[in-house]
Chain A
């Protein structure tokens, strides 16, 4: 069963703004019936101020598709169209306290329905640049279509190169066969094998002192840094509290829609390097957690 956050469940069991808005003047219809998720978003926009007065959704889809739709309508009400357009799919996922990697496409669908509805209001034609394939890398949420595109565009030949360009395969490494298959499909011959990861030395559980633990965490972050810096981002360790590790994603990582997936990948690497379960949390949430929030 999926691990849905309480907020996802709450929005699924008690969806807000279900149904079409009466006298809507903006409609966006996106999704894929073959994949089993599709959404019609209707908005009532004040033509003078371009403020979204009402929002409603009709969704054919799973629990997280319905929850993402419900969250989206709550988020956009009262916003101007300009403000609404700044909402990223990660914002929708964050509003729901996260979505499983396999379900991030539900938040993407929400983001696209919004763009389509606003284009409809403005009398523009909306084109989606969305291509979706089977999810290959669960740690970083990278699908086959994305890998294929990047492999072709950059003439990539090995798993290591794919990891460097897309992050796919850089976490738990269980998807390497899947990446190899994509490479074989494109280039014919089997790709070069991936080097054995040196960062993910598995250590027996519980054998580390606090200092050793923190050093090891820093080592892992250090080894991931080049990958993030290639995308003009970076990561810094802020604090370690029991099994919660607080980090700051900085540079281009700030506000990047892949930030959640990146944290997931870092977490996976740390779990393997430390041989224990840890949670990687943005430092911005330290106060919330300290106050007993969430």
Chain B
């Protein structure tokens, strides 16, 4: 039986049509798009087409608003650092406590090394932002707001359209990390006040090593990489032509599948979630189940640890991911789970199942069958679990209180 891939928020399989579109750009179409000959010219045309395809996916007003980069992280760094350089007298940044490390680590660095003041907006237990706190932080001292469109761990959506409007009325640039949202929900940027947006190719069935920075026309901008005139001087460096062409095709395909992803795939996700929750005691969905990506389910299994769950799932041929400390090599569980105030005994046991259009009902049935015995097997080893009652021990934090906890 083929293995089951439910880790599509980490990365996705490159669509076969995308691979087919990319291949000629390694062999026949190897020209440099900047060159003044036929080899380069054809490649240049292919890039223009890809730019339009991405523009269409994002619903951007102009194709020149699309800047190709090497990845989502580069797009995020470029956007934030550009805003700081463009408004050097503004020394504050607004972001959230649950951003991806691509934004969070950069902000922490700017805070510690460059002396910026960073406002980290907190979330409630469902991972929702408090817009009043956001309004209070907005001021002419703020150079940029960077808020993710969808959370990578829980899939929870932030009200970025509304937040961008608020930023615009305060005269502040608004950037959103849409690496998880792009291709999963409609974006239609031209109807929003979003100034900058980051996208990553490999999250939507294109190849790794290609990303996009959307730059609204007229936004004050300073490039991260200076050099040649590629991307109209906004991102120097020879283009990743094959990657960009593939991303164009992937953008078109993901748009064709948008409805399918929001109906059929979404129902598969729901069926998986309900199937597991009906059978496994002491587990719960994290994030905001009423306002999230259609492909993401994040379930906290209490009193066991996530890496151990993943190892057993992997043995059963199921790929997922976890917010436990051990899976990241850090000493703390996922900052997203901690920000939502999920207790340690549950935060370490969170497992994320993230779907793509390739997943099937048959796979969901297999996972729903595989998960309960895996959880039971690990709970048998857990000092918090009582095998006789098949429930947590009475008053778990008292019954097991190891030293140096």
Q: List 14 A-B contacts (CB under 8 A).
A: A13-B312, A18-B380, A32-B402, A35-B332, A36-B344, A39-B383, A58-B381, A58-B400, A61-B308, A66-B308, A102-B329, A116-B403, A133-B331, A134-B331
Q: 11 other contacts beyond A34-B405, A58-B383, A134-B331, with CB at 8 A cut-off?
A: A19-B380, A30-B403, A31-B405, A36-B306, A36-B326, A36-B333, A40-B402, A59-B382, A60-B400, A62-B307, A130-B404
- Which residue of chain A has the shortest Cβ distance to B311 in the bound complex? A63
A128 within 8 A of B: yes
Contact A34 B332 (CB under 8 A): yes
Q: How far is the CB of B7 from chain A (nearest CB, A)?
A: 12
- Contacts A59-B383, A66-B381 known; A39 to B307 CB distance under 8 Å? no
Q: Which A residue's beta carbon lies closest to that of B344?
A: A33
Q: Does any Cβ of A come within 8 Å of B303's Cβ?
A: yes
Chain A residues whose CB sits within 8 angstroms of the CB of B304 once the complex forms: 60
- Chain A residues close to B by CB (< 8 Å): 9, 12-13, 15, 18-19, 29-40, 57-66, 102-103, 116, 126, 128, 130, 132-135
B290 within 8 A of partner (CB): no
Given A37-B326, A38-B383, A134-B331, CB of A31 within 8 Å of CB of B402: yes
Partner of B404, one of A32, A66, A102, A133: A32
On chain A, the residues within 8 Å of B311 by CB distance are 9, 12, 63
Q: Are A18 and B381 in contact (CB under 8 A)?
A: yes
Chain A residues with CB below 8 A from B348, complex form: 33, 36, 60
- 0/1 string, B48-68, CB within 8 A of A gives 1: 000000000000000000000
Q: How far is the CA of A133 from the CA of B381 in the complex (A)?
A: 27
Q: For residue A35, which residue of chain B has the nearest CB?
A: B331
Instruction: Select which of B331, B381, B402 is within 8 A of A29 by beta carbon.
Output: B402
> A29 and B400: CB pair below 8 A?
yes
What residues of chain B lie closer than 8 Å to A58, measured between beta carbons?
381-383, 400
**How far, in angstroms, from A62 to B348 measured CA to CA in the complex?**
9
What is the CB-to-nearest-CB distance from A215 to chain B, in angstroms, rounded to a whole number? 37
Once the chains are docked, how many angstroms separate the CA of A61 from the CA of B327? 11
Against A, the Cβ 8 Å flags (1 = close, 0 = not) of B327-339 are 1011111000000
Kindly report which residue of chain A lies nearest to residue B383, judged by CB atoms: A58
Which chain B residues border A19 with CB–CB below 8 Å? 380-381, 387
Main secondary structure of the interface of B (DSSP, over half): loop
Contacts of B327 in A (CB 8 A): 62
CB contact under 8 A between A62 and B401, given known A13-B315, A40-B383: no
B258 is an interface residue with CB less than 8 A from chain A = no
- Do A128 and B403 touch across chains, with their CB atoms under 8 A apart? yes
Please, which residues of chain A bring their CB within 8 A of the CB of B195?
none
Contact check: which of A15, A30, A64 meets B381 at CB < 8 Å?
A15
| Known contacts A13-B315, A15-B381, A34-B344: A40-B400 contact under CB 8 Å | yes
**For the complex, what is the distance from the CA of A38 to the CA of B308, rounded to whole Å?**
13
CB-defined contacts of B344 to chain A, threshold 8 Å? 33-34, 36
Q: Are B315 and A60 in contact (CB under 8 A)?
A: no
Task: Determine whether the beta carbon of B308 is less than 8 Å from that of A32.
Answer: no
> Considering only CB atoms, which chain A residue lies closest to B384 in the complex?
A60
Nearest-neighbour CB distance to chain A for B336, whole angstroms, equals 15
Q: Is A135 within 8 A of B380, CB to CB?
A: no
Closest to A143 in B: B331
Closest to A60 in B: B382
Residues of A within 8 A of B330 (CB): 134
CA distance A34 to B344 in the complex (A): 6
The answer to whether A29 touches B403 (Cβ under 8 A) is yes
Distance from B393 Cβ to chain A, minimum over Cβ atoms (Å): 10
7 nearest interchain CB pairs?
Answer: A62-B326, A62-B307, A58-B383, A36-B348, A29-B402, A36-B325, A31-B402
Interface string of B371-390 (1 = CB under 8 A from A): 00000000011111001000
Contact flag A12-B381 (CB < 8 Å), given A31-B405, A33-B345: no
Among B327, B383, B401, residue most surrounded by chain A Cβ atoms (within 10 Å): B383
Please measure, in the bound complex, the distance between the C-alpha atom of A270 and the C-alpha atom of B128, giving whole angstroms: 51
Q: Which residues of A contact B381 (CB under 8 A)?
A: 15, 18-19, 57-59, 66
Q: Are B307 and A32 in contact (CB under 8 A)?
A: no
Map CB proximity to A onto B75-108 as digits: 1 under 8 Å, 0 otherwise: 0000000000000000000000000000000000
**How far in angstroms is the closest Cβ of chain A from B383?**
4
Which residues on A sit within 8 Å (CB–CB) of B400?
29, 38, 40, 58, 60
Distance of A65 Cα from B308 Cα, bound (Å)? 9
Min CB–CB distance B396 → chain A (angstroms): 10
Provide the residues of chain A in CB contact with B329, threshold 8 Å. 102, 135
Q: Is B73 an interface residue (CB 8 A)?
A: no
B273 interfacial by beta-carbon distance below 8 Å: no
B239 at the interface (CB under 8 A from A): no
Tell whether B152 is near chain A: CB-to-CB under 8 Å: no
Chain A residues with Cβ below 8 Å from B382 are: 58-60
Q: How near does chain B come to A95, taking the closest CB pair, in angstroms? A: 19
Minimum CB–CB distance from A177 to chain B (whole Å) comes to 11
Distance, CA A61 to CA B349, complexed state (A):
9
Q: How far in angstroms is the closest Cβ of chain A from B290?
A: 29
Question: From A18, which residue of chain B is reached at the shortest CB distance?
Answer: B381
Contacts of B387 in A (CB 8 A): 19
A57 vs B329: C-alpha distance when bound (angstroms)? 24
Residues of chain A within 8 A of B403, CB atoms compared: 29-30, 116, 126, 128
Complex Cα–Cα for A58 and B303 (A): 12
Whether the pair B326, A32 counts as a contact (CB closer than 8 A) is no
- Given known contacts A19-B380, A34-B332, A62 and B308 CB-to-CB distance under 8 angstroms: yes
Rounded to whole Å, the gap between the CB of A96 and the closest CB of chain B is 15
B74 at the interface (CB under 8 A from A): no
- The residue among B327, B333, B387, B405 with the most chain A CB atoms within 10 A of its own CB is B405
- Of listed A18, A32, A62, residue having the most chain B CB within 10 A: A62
